[in-house]
Amino acid sequence: MTRMRTLNNQLFFNRWKMINLVFLINLMAFGIVMLIDVVSNKMTFKLVMFDKWYMYYMLLTFVAYLVTWVLLAKDNEQVLFSSKYRMIPITEWKLYLSNMLSSLLALIYFWFLEGIVNTIFGSIQANHFLVGNALTSILYTKAYYKLPNVDMTVRSFIIGFLSITLVWSIVTLVHFLISLISDKFALKKKRVIKYVLYFLITYICLMIFNSTVSGVFVLMYGDGFNVLEKINSMLLTSIFIFIGWIVVLTLINIYLLKKHIETDY
Amino acid sequence: MSNVLKIEELNYKKGGKKILEDVNLKLDSGKIIGLLGENGAGKTTLMRIIAGVNSVSEGVITVNGNTKKILIKENVSLSDHLDGFKATNKISEIVHFYNAVYQDFSITKYEDIANFLGLDMTKKLAALSTGTRGKLVIALTLARSAKLYLLDEPLSGIDSISRKKIISSIIRWKDDDSTIIISDHYVTAIASLLDEVVIIKNQKIRDLIPVEQIQSDYHLGIEAYYEKVYLGEIQ
């Protein structure tokens, strides 16, 4: 039997290469933007340009992040529908979890790479302010580096992470259900029906999700939440709701993968 | 001789259409069996069901005494057409993948077969001709130590020289106790290899017959027998 770690390494390696490529393109695009900016400023270099460049970089990173997210989601789906992976002697739940885990690790790796560039920018900006105005810079850098609330930051980060997992799980469920329905019934105008199904299933998932989440929040915070602690505990509740949904969707997806889902190629 | 494969009451539908109906089959180990049938007869589907890639809604598949899907996958080596790999993947990367994920994959055996077939590890998948790709598929499939090898149309679209090489490699690297099922609709190409023949017609297993019996009872070659079965001249 193939070990989960072995499969995970294989899946992560492919995604690692993909992330490196996206990051490289991101940096190259940023380099071109910087070059255009310098050329349009008649080859003069000003410290203030760093702020603008940082803004450009953030914008490009946001685009790169979206591209990465979509590519990983696509790769996730391809693994589950490919004979290359489905032939391997490993249980469906190990295949599913390895797939999801390696995508999440790849995303963390992307964040890590972007984090390095951000830190470099941050340190350049801090030095830049020190050159300009000592007092302002001390106040600014202190504010810049001061974390507003460690708990809230950590919880927000976890929610971000969980929401990505949740959306990927929903995408897989939708893909599985479409494949299942197409396999069971002889569908004419398959493409149109697929899109209608995609819309319907997404709508139903969102409705169920929305009513559950809002129901829980109304029960818990019916009197409003304008206090920091309440926001913090709301984040904690969200984490539990997200985990619950991920577990439910994962179980459904693994069941469908095991019993009904066949490969496309 | 023990049964390496047992299929009981298998029914399979896809898109509301019956692909396989009431399939029952028992195959002994150590043989090379031809799975014959026209295009769309269900040969590939049957192989994919046996390999655990397609789901079984009705029926039981037993491979080497195992009915659990994961144990079946351990015992079966299915020829994959490598569509899941990127065109930019080198042969060496594909071999590395196989070596990592299949515990029964032997690099030494792969290298022997690859040398015999003239495969170059540095070449990319996109640069391979149909014949070379077919050779790679055979080398990867046979380099596993499985009880049952499923070769799905291994000679399809391949020139006669490569075809001969592939056939030679199948004979040369087959273990005595392993079984090989080869599907094809070009019967002549594989006829020389076969010990037994399974014919699929109208979604059902029409026949399981030893090659010797075809010759002794019907005085026919495999291809002629197959054609007569399809035309309904042999019931």
Question: What pLDDT score does A89 carry?
Answer: 92
Domain boundary among A114, A146, A178: A146
Residue B48 has pLDDT above 60, yes or no: yes
Same domain, A105 and A175: no
A199 and A230 in a common domain:
yes
Give B-chain residues touching A1 at CB under 8 angstroms.
Answer: 70, 74, 103
For A231, the domain range is 149-264
Task: Look at residue B84 in the predicted model and tell me its pLDDT.
Answer: 87
pLDDT at A142: 47
How far is the alpha carbon of A188 from chain B, nearest alpha carbon, in Å?
10
Mean pLDDT value across residues B155-166: 80
Question: Based on the domain organization, do A108 and A122 belong to the same domain?
Answer: yes
Model confidence at B1: pLDDT above 80: no
CA of B30 vs chain A CAs: smallest distance (Å): 23
Cβ-Cβ contacts under 8 Å, A184 against chain B: 13, 15-16
pLDDT of res. B213: 86
User: Same structural domain for residues A206 and A128?
Assistant: no
Residues of chain A with pLDDT under 70: 43-48, 125-152, 186-191, 193-194, 197-198, 212, 215-232, 265
Query: Taking CB atoms and an 8 Å limit, are B70 and A182 in contact across chains?
Result: no
The number of folded domains in chain A is 2
Residue A174 sits in the same domain as residue A208: yes
The more confident residue out of A139 and B226 is B226
Alpha helices in chain B (DSSP H): 43-51, 69-75, 91-101, 107-117, 130-142, 160-172, 187-191, 211-218, 222-231
Residue B73 has pLDDT above 60, yes or no: yes
Question: How high is the pLDDT of residue B102?
Answer: 93
A1 lies in the same domain as A90: yes
ipTM surpassing 0.95, yes or no? Answer: no
Asked which of A112, A127, A146 is the last residue of a domain, the reply is: A146
Q: What is the pLDDT of residue B50?
A: 92
User: Given A146, A172, A195, which residue is the final one in a domain?
Assistant: A146
Q: What is the CATH number of domain B3-231?
A: 3.40.50.300
What pLDDT sits at residue A139? 45
